[in-house]
Amino acid sequence: MNKLDQTRMDACYKKIDLILDENKDLIPNQITATEILAIRKRLYNKFGKHRDGSKIYFNKKYYRQCWVTNGLQGASIHKGLPRMIHDISHKIDRIKNRRYVDNYKSHNLYQAQLELAINEWALSKPEFWNGYYLPKPKQKPTNNDKIENLKLLVKKWKTKEMRASTYINKYKKKLSRLEKTN
């Protein structure tokens, strides 16, 4: 890497650190694996495209343990969402550029610029930082809901019973015809 690219890359990393330090209160102390997977999917859909514009495919169930944080850990730029953004920028860069660059290095100018762009975009979206991606709690069904559900089940089973009796009659007629011919 030439000196100009190195200074540009260092400037990008300094800007990322500055942005994250200024917005440290946005970094959640607790983030679950479910939220991580949803956010990761959104980031890949937004930034993960090949050079020809086609979609980058990825394992939708994979996450690193350092991305998940609990309430006991303090907010940090070295774990949780900032760490996930850093790792995803590496993965996207590796998929996009490894074939096109001789002597590919994982920390390069494009990766730093991509990480900066992802961080800036994510900071403009408050849902990344406020628990928007948590699964919604299910409400307990009321008695009316239970009654409606049971009525639907009775209706379904009556339909199945009628269908079964129709087939039983049909097969009895076929059987009687075949027994008469013998």
Longest dimension (CA), the chain: 97
Please compute Rg for the chain using Cα positions: 28
Torsion sign over Cα 88, 90, 91, 95: positive
| Mean pLDDT by groups of 10 residues along the chain of 182 residues | 85 90 81 86 86 81 82 68 89 81 78 91 81 77 94 96 96 94 80
Residue pair 71/54 in contact (Cβ under 8 Å)? The answer is: no
What pTM did the predictor assign? Answer: 0.68
- Quote the pLDDT of residue 152: 96
For residue 150, the model assigns a pLDDT of 96
d(CA 143, CA 124): 43
pLDDT at res. 155: 97
pLDDT of residue 50: 81
